Amino acid sequence: MGIPERKEKEKIKRRKDILWAAKNSFSKKGFMNATIEEIAQESELSTGTIYLYFSGKEELYVSLIVETYDILIEELGEVLKQDVAPDELLVSIATTYYDFCENHPDHYRILNFIVNEHLNLKLTPELTEKIDDKTDIIFKMLSEVIKHGIGIGIFKQIDVWDVTSLFWSNIHGIIQTQTTIDYLKGRTTDIESLIRKNIELMFLAIKV
């Protein structure tokens, strides 16, 4: 390996180390309370080095969101390879998202910062667009499943975008609300069962 290749490899590793430290700091303290100084300390780098890679906390946050969505998109992509009916695919997509939230708790918490800490008001249009591009991919995945269901006569002639938005909002809302309630009350709820019941109710409205 030559010197240029070695330097590039070091840059990639350093960027990953910074993101790892930022993920830990944001997850523990939230976006507002985390500082670049703490992230630098945890990554064992100087604050100046952090700013060589990222313009500030906002860009760090968006980079983590993109990383989070990339993981989720890859997992949903595996689901879509299943040779099953569209209604079964929707159930698998929903349970896969829940499994993702359970298996990647730090990433899931970071996803919620944009709402809980009103970060959408602090991001530049360029950074917001990076997040929108990823959510568009997920919504396109969902909409294609719903379109296919309409095409083969499983679902009624419905507005694909409306159902896509409703489906994703409901699943995300159940997970977010119920995990918060369980945390506050110190209990454990079968959230996957709630998700399946919610989808069954939705199917009553959209299935032929």
Predicted pLDDT of residue 182 = 86
The answer, yes or no, to whether residue 114 has pLDDT greater than 80, is no
> Class assignment of domain 56-206?
mainly alpha
pLDDT, position 112: 78
Smallest Cα–Cα separation from 45: which of 73, 21, 76, 78? 21
The number of beta carbons lying within 10 Å of the beta carbon of residue 97 is: 21
- Average pLDDT (66-71) is 94
Res. 35: pLDDT tops 60: yes
Per-residue pLDDT at 140 = 97
Please tell me the least confidently modeled range out of 21-30, 73-82, 85-94, 143-152: 21-30
Is 45 in a helix, a strand, or coil? coil
pLDDT at 2 over 80: no
**Residues 107/16/29/100 CA torsion (nearest 10 deg):** 10
pLDDT above 90 (res 151): yes
On whether the CB atoms of residues 86 and 94 are closer than 8 A, the answer is no
Domain ranges in the chain are 1-54, 56-206
Q: Which token pair is 34?
A: 């985390």
Tell me the HSE value of 191 on the side-chain side, using a 13 A CA sphere. 24
pLDDT, mean of residues 15-22: 93
The proportion of the chain whose per-residue pLDDT surpasses 70, expressed as a percent, equals 96
**118 vs 91, more confident:** 91
CA distance 193 to 94: 11
Rounded to whole angstroms, the Cα distance separating 138 from 68 reads 12
Q: Which residues contact 128 (CB under 8 A, 6 or more apart)?
A: 120
Residue 123: strand pairing partners: none
- Tokens at 197, concatenated: 């019941």
Mean pLDDT along residues 67-89: 95
pTM, 2 dp:
0.88
Segment 56-65 mean pLDDT: 91
- Residue 138 CA from chain centroid, whole number: 9
Q: DSSP readout, 105-123?
A: HHHHHHHHHHHHT-GGGTS
Domain formed by 1-54, architecture: Orthogonal Bundle (1.10)
